């Protein structure tokens, strides 16, 4: 069994938000995104992949398509294929987001 305790996996750096790989298969992957105050993930999209952001800790601004919304711990949001999406930690506290993406854009061999 591959099990992780999310609080033990968080990593932060002053320069940019951190992606921590948790799970990966040929069909999907799951990461933790760890944001210090003021850090962002630039708007981008995936043509063939669904992504889910789940807020584990903190709060931030989540943009999907043309809508931006402040979401706090316990909220999840779906980014469908082709939709621009990104995250900004506009708070004074850290933000930790659990990310799921499928299908895997670059499956491991």
Tens of pLDDT, residue by residue over 97-106, are 999 999 988 8
Predicted pLDDT of residue 17: 98
Predicted pLDDT of residue 48: 94
**Lowest-pLDDT range, 26-30, 54-58, 88-92, 103-107?**
103-107
Average pLDDT over residues 58-79: 98
Give the integer Cα–Cα distance in Å for 64 and 43: 9
Predicted pLDDT of residue 54: 98
Predicted pLDDT of residue 109: 74
Give the integer Cα–Cα distance in Å for 85 and 89: 14
Query: Cβ of 108: how many Cβ atoms within 10 Å?
Result: 8
Domain extent listing, the chain: 18-102
pLDDT class of 68 with cuts at 50, 70, 90: very high
Give the integer Cα–Cα distance in Å for 86 and 73: 17
If you average pLDDT over every residue of the chain, what do you get?
96
Predicted pLDDT of residue 108: 83
* CATH class of the domain comprising 18-102: mainly beta
């Amino acid at each position: 069994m591959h099990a992780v305790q999310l609080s033990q996996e968080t990593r932060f750096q002053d320069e940019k938000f951190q992606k921590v790989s948790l799970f990966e298969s040929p069909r999907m992957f799951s990461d933790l995104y760890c944001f210090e105050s003021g850090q962002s993930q630039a708007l981008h999209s995936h043509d063939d992949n669904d992504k889910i952001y789940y807020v584990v800790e903190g709060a931030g601004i989540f943009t999907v398509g043309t809508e931006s919304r402040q979401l706090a711990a316990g909220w999840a949001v779906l980014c469908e294929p082709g939709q621009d999406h990104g995250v900004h930690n506009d708070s004074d506290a850290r933000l930790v987001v659990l990310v799921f993406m499928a299908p895997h854009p670059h499956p491991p061999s």
